[in-house]
Amino acid sequence: MMMQACTLASPLGTLLLVSSGGKLTQLIWGADATQPQGIQLPQNDVLEQASEELKAYFFGSKLGFSVPIAPNGTAFQKTVWQALRKLPHGHTTSYGELASRVGNPQGARAVGGAVGANPLPIIIPCHRVLRAGNRLGGFSGGLAIKRKLLRLEAIDWQENA
């Protein structure tokens, strides 16, 4: 299946959006947001929709995403990501709460691994997962980006001690 990509300037820096088979498969940021080998740059409807929805999100006029997605991951990861997509804009959860939601109450560490492997950050809102006690915790894009996303959604948190 042919993969296509586009870049998007954002308040977080350049984002690389990748689609395949009519669905968004990856959102990449930072130093990795460069044109990968073997991926064509022509825009398509999915990339256009994702770009428009992300722009609206960054300007505060979009509270959710409807772009079709197909993240690559294990069955467990996909279950965790689906649960994350149900978390409303401006709300958070903890790794333990998310583990309970996916039927694995002792699996906070496994849920953390799935959250960290999320190939569609922002669209699958892994930034809304906080450590116990509403503490910041880690983030694949770095804590500075996580703070920006939480501020954008008017979410309060505690810095780690």
Catalytic residues: 126
Chain centroid offset of residue 17 CA: 12
What's the CA gap between 45 and 135, in Å, rounded?
Answer: 38
8: phi then psi, degrees, rounded to nearest 5: -140, 125
Closest by alpha carbon to 123, among 49, 34, 36? 49
Angle between helix 75-85 and helix 108-116 axes, rounded to 10 deg? 80
Q: Do 111 and 98 touch, CB atoms closer than 8 A?
A: yes
SS3 138: coil
Question: What is the number of other CB atoms lying within 10 angstroms of the CB of residue 160?
Answer: 11
What is the H or E stretch that residue 80 is in?
Answer: helix 75-85
